[in-house]
């Protein structure tokens, strides 16, 4: 795969890459999609290069598909990482493989790559990864126990999580991640998992209700021991309206 790209490097934007941070939510866990390659034997965000004839936003979707088999994921661009030294270690660790002398391919590959970061939050069960390369492993890993990542991928991951948390203050989250009918405690748990902290039950109820995106159903959750909690669903029209206009009509 890499050899193929190096041989056809004129067909790729020089010095530019894409990295995708895909958060998956399932059963109250926030996970991150990571890829492990043999060389180097380390975990990384799914990423790749940008064909010269492809918009970067489209390239991000293609890269994600090629590395993980995932399709139809709406990716949001969140930041571009361009420190001079961002792939320097990668360089010094691997230049030996090239016998110390850099070919034209080597120069291309080891130059500073500026990488555009994209992220998404998806329902993990709807998006089963299937690695294309047989030397690759693709796995959902709990964001609390992410192993060492190559390059500055940990920094990219942290920035994506920070962006996702900020987004909770700008728009509602939950559609596609929860079952069609859910309880307020289930919704609260989603927010707590993303934010990484406990929330006050009453405050959460008051704030989430004030947004006006919930429809209280005439049903209660069954199979629960004590007082059965009410079921809710999202009012899709209002939900979409708030996504468009932002949570805080603000000023």
- Interaction of residue 210 with its own copies, rule CB under 8 A: no
* Helix H or strand E encompassing 34: strand 29-36
Q: What is the C-alpha separation between 142 and 24, in angstroms, rounded?
A: 9
Site string for its own copies, 155-194 (x = CB under 8 A): -----------x-xxx--------------------x---
CB of 192 to its own copies, least distance (A): 8
Cα dihedral 8, 65, 72, 47 sign: negative
CB of 92 to its own copies, least distance (A): 16
Is the previous residue joined to 243 through a cis bond, with omega within 30 degrees of 0?
Answer: no
* Sole binder of its own copies in the list 52, 125, 137, 224 (CB under 8 A): 52
Q: What is the C-alpha separation between 238 and 231, in angstroms, rounded?
A: 18
Nearer to its own copies, 17 or 127 (CB): 17
Q: Which residue has the tokens 């709990």?
A: 142
Q: What is the C-alpha separation between 128 and 35, in angstroms, rounded?
A: 13
Reading the block at residue 157, the tokens are 């991951």
Q: What is the C-alpha separation between 209 and 194, in angstroms, rounded?
A: 19
* Sole binder of its own copies in the list 195, 205, 211, 243 (CB under 8 A): 195
- Interaction of residue 206 with its own copies, rule CB under 8 A: no
Nearer to its own copies, 51 or 69 (CB): 51
- Interaction of residue 80 with its own copies, rule CB under 8 A: yes
Nearer to its own copies, 13 or 233 (CB): 13
CA 30, 33, 68: angle at the middle one, nearest 5? 145
CB of 84 to its own copies, least distance (A): 5
Structural Rg of the chain based on CA atoms: 21
CB of 222 to its own copies, least distance (A): 28
CB of 173 to its own copies, least distance (A): 10
For 87, which DSSP code?
T
* Sole binder of its own copies in the list 14, 147, 196, 212 (CB under 8 A): 14
Q: What is the C-alpha separation between 244 and 203, in angstroms, rounded?
A: 24
CB of 74 to its own copies, least distance (A): 16
* Site for its own copies, rule CB under 8 A: 13-16, 50, 52-57, 59, 77, 79-80, 82-84, 111-112, 114, 116, 166, 168-170, 191, 195, 199, 204, 207, 246-248, 250-251
């Amino acid at each position: 795969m890499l050899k193929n790209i190096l041989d056809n490097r004129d067909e790729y934007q020089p010095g530019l890459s894409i990295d995708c941070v895909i958060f998956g939510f399932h059963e109250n866990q926030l996970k991150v999609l990571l890829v492990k390659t043999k060389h180097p034997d380390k975990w990384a965000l799914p990423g790749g290069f940008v064909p010269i004839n492809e918009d970067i936003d489209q390239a991000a979707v293609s890269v994600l598909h090629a590395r993980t088999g995932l399709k139809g994921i709406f990716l949001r661009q969140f930041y571009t990482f361009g420190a001079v030294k961002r792939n320097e270690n990668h360089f010094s660790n691997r230049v030996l493989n090239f016998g110390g002398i850099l070919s034209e391919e080597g120069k291309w590959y080891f130059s500073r790559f500026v990488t555009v970061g994209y992220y998404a939050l998806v329902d993990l069960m709807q998006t089963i990864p299937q690695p294309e390369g047989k030397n690759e492993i693709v796995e959902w890993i709990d964001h609390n126990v992410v192993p060492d990542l190559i390059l500055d991928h940990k920094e990219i991951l942290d920035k994506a999580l920070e962006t996702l948390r900020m987004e909770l203050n700008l728009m509602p989250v939950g559609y596609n991640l929860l079952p069609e009918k859910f309880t307020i405690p289930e919704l609260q748990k989603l927010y707590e998992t993303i934010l990484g902290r406990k929330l006050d039950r009453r405050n959460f109820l008051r704030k989430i209700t004030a947004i006006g995106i919930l429809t209280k159903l005439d049903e209660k959750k069954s199979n629960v021991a004590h007082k059965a909690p009410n079921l809710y669903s999202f009012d899709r029209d209002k939900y979409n309206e708030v996504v468009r206009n932002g949570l805080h009509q603000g000023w």
